[in-house]
Amino acid sequence: MARVLVIDDDRLIRKVVKKVLTDLSYEVVEAEDGLEALKRIKSIRPDAVIVDKLMPGIDGFEVTRRLRREPELTHIPILVLTGESDLQEKLAAFEAGADDYLCKPFAAAELAARLTVLLRRAKALENAQSQILQKTDQAHVIAVHSLRGGIGTSSLANNLAIGLNGLWKSPTLLIDMVPNAGQQALMLNMSLKRTWADLGMIPPDELDLNTLSAITRQHDSGLHLIAAPKIPSDAEAVTSEHFNITLKILKSRYTYVIADLPHDFNSITLEVLEAADTVLLVVSPEIASVRAASIALETYKQLSYPEEKIKVVLNWTFEREGLAHDAIENALHAPIHLVIPYGGRRFTNAINRGSPLLHEKPEDTISSLLEDFCFRLSKETHQSIAPASPSAAWHRLNDRLQLFAAAQRKQKSRFSLVR
């Protein structure tokens, strides 16, 4: 039986909520204000919390924020009740760390449905983390990098993470490493509870999987996310040593780790680049971006990274009049491994909706291109052995591979006839 803590100074509201939940076989524990709830919550050990926004003493948003500061409590889903229905109030609830938001007056059925969904998600995350604990294989780490912003690096990172997770249904993690403008939580429509800035409160040698699990969120697709700090100053206490140890732990717990890197070579960026199996260098077809990419490639060379570790991705960020493909390769003295065609408003709309293109529109031609690239980036074992229970993404990929193979055979047959 799931236990729900209901925090509200209004006795009538508590009574209504308790009636709804007890009828559904939930165990309900009541608290009259936020301070009482915070004092008792560790002994109550609830599976979920329902808290009213307006209360004397400290309000529901502050209760939520304080709960999210406690690593052992951060996994508990929180539903905020409020009499306000405007967008700013909703955003404030999510910013505080709430999982969901319900306006009063509410229908009993809606309250029950929302709580059921929150508990189901929490259980799914618990099961996923349990599976991660059993893994011993080292993750394939992919770093997405560019020295120039605004060319789609973050969109590429989250689409690749969605794609790899979708293809193999194996534990996949996206880390937003950008401390001053990281937007992956927004781009995935996920509320911020904790971020990697919280690691700064812990000595590096005391980091463990439980600590990292406390700052990890799960997307609806199953993808895991470690979000970037809310403001740059939050990240000041996090060192490269924190990330050195963090990556060692994560590599033993995930199949794929995708890092969305800042546009620099700071110590933390270098830590991730060093640990990466593959570095995707993103460039757009304009001179400033090509120059930045050239500088990055020269730096990789000075760092003695193997050439096969670096793959250049050309993102066609505008419709026409860009530098030619061959001219970019000649300038960089490096081959381009993927060209993403101009997508119109596809990526902008995806960002505004908080749903990556590959997640929302998997049949789109650019989505197919990205999914195929995910396959090429996958571990050799995944490329060579079909999964026991193929996903929808794998079936799409396999259909394209079969069509390509058939076209190749047909072309070869025509060539033989000509000869």
Q: What is the pLDDT of residues 237-254, one digit of tens each?
A: 999 999 999 999 999 899
The predicted structure's pLDDT at residue 172: 97
The predicted structure's pLDDT at residue 151: 95
Q: Which domains does the chain have, with CATH numbers?
A: 3-122 (3.40.50.2300), 131-389 (3.40.50.300)
The predicted structure's pLDDT at residue 136: 47
Beginning with the edge strand found earlier in the chain, give each strand of the sheet holding 172-176 in spatial order: 216-218, 224-226, 172-176, 256-260, 140-145, 278-283, 310-315, 336-340
Q: In terms of Cα–Cα distance, which of 324, 360, 351 is closest to 339?
A: 324
The predicted structure's pLDDT at residue 75: 80
Mean pLDDT of 90-98: 86
Flag the least confident range among 113-127, 255-269, 315-329, 351-365.
Answer: 113-127
Instruction: Give yes or no for a contact between 44 and 5, defined as CB atoms under 8 angstroms apart.
Output: yes
Count CB atoms within 10 A of the CB of residue 125: 18
In the chain, the N- to C-terminal Cα span, in Å, equals: 74
How large is the angle between the packed helices 87-96 and 60-68, nearest 10 degrees? 30
pLDDT at 319 over 60: yes
Q: What percent of the chain has pLDDT over 70?
A: 95
Mean pLDDT of 294-319: 95
> At 392, phi and psi to the nearest 5?
-60, -40
Dump pLDDT digits (tens) for 273-293.
Answer: 999 999 999 999 999 999 999
Dump pLDDT digits (tens) for 264-276.
Answer: 999 999 999 999 9
What are the E-state strand segments in 211-363? 216-218, 224-226, 256-260, 278-283, 310-315, 336-340
What DSSP line would sit under 368-419, residue for residue? HHHHHHHHHHS-HHHHHS--SS--HHHHHHHHHHHHHHHHHHHHHHHHHHH-
Dump pLDDT digits (tens) for 189-212.
Answer: 998 778 999 999 899 988 998 889
What are the E-state strand segments in 274-369? 278-283, 310-315, 336-340
Count CB atoms within 10 A of the CB of residue 324: 9
Separation between Cα atoms, residue 76 and residue 38, nearest integer Å: 13
Which one has a higher pLDDT value, 37 or 133?
37
Which one has a higher pLDDT value, 418 or 183?
183
